[in-house]
A = this chain, B = another copy of it.
Amino acid sequence: MSSTGSDEAATPEEESREGVSQVETETETATATTTETMNLVEAVRNALHTEMARDEHVVVLGEDVAENGGVFRATEGLLESFGDERVVDTPLAESGIVGTAIGLAMTDMRPVAEMQFMGFAYPAFDQLVSHAARMRSRSHGQYTVPMVVRAPYGGGIRAPEHHSESKEAFFVHEPGLKVVVPSTPADAKGLLIASIRDPDPVVFLEPKLVYRAFREDVPTNAYETPLGKAAVKREGSDVTVYTWGAMVHPTLIAADNVADEDGIDVEVVDLRTLSPLDVETVVDSFEKTGRAVVVHEAPKTAGLGAEIAATIQEEALLHQEAPITRVAGYDVPMPLHELEDYYLPQALRIQEGIRETVSF
A323 x B317 contact (CB < 8 A): yes
Per-residue interface assignment for chain A, residues 138 to 174, with 1 indicating a CB less than 8 Å from any chain B CB and 0 otherwise: 1000000000000000000000011000010110111
B305 x A302 contact (CB < 8 A): no
Stoichiometry (number of copies)? 2
A89 to B22, CA, bound (A): 58
Name the interface size band of chain A: 35 or more
A138 to B333, CA, bound (A): 9
A125 to B134, CA, bound (A): 18
B302 x A169 contact (CB < 8 A): yes
Per-residue interface assignment for chain A, residues 120 to 143, with 1 indicating a CB less than 8 Å from any chain B CB and 0 otherwise: 001101100110011001100000
A119 at interface, CB cutoff 8 A: yes
A111 at interface, CB cutoff 8 A: no
Identity of the chain B residue whose Cβ is nearest the Cβ of A304 in the assembled complex: B302
Per-residue interface assignment for chain A, residues 296 to 314, with 1 indicating a CB less than 8 Å from any chain B CB and 0 otherwise: 0011011111110111011
A175 x B314 contact (CB < 8 A): no
B310 x A314 contact (CB < 8 A): no
A6 at interface, CB cutoff 8 A: no
B306 x A310 contact (CB < 8 A): yes
Task: Kindly provide the distance from the CB of A251 to the nearest chain B CB, expressed in whole angstroms.
Answer: 19
A68 at interface, CB cutoff 8 A: no
A residues touching B (Cβ–Cβ < 8 Å)? 95, 119, 122-123, 125-126, 129-130, 133-134, 137-138, 161-162, 167, 169-170, 172-176, 275, 277, 298-299, 301-307, 309-311, 313-315, 317, 320, 322-326, 331-333
* Closest 7 pairs (CB-CB, A-B): A122-B126, A309-B310, A306-B306, A173-B302, A306-B310, A306-B307, A125-B125
Q: Please name 5 further chain A to chain B contacts, defined as beta carbons within 8 Å, in addition to the given A169-B173, A175-B301, sorted by A numbering.
A: A172-B301, A172-B302, A302-B306, A313-B320, A314-B323
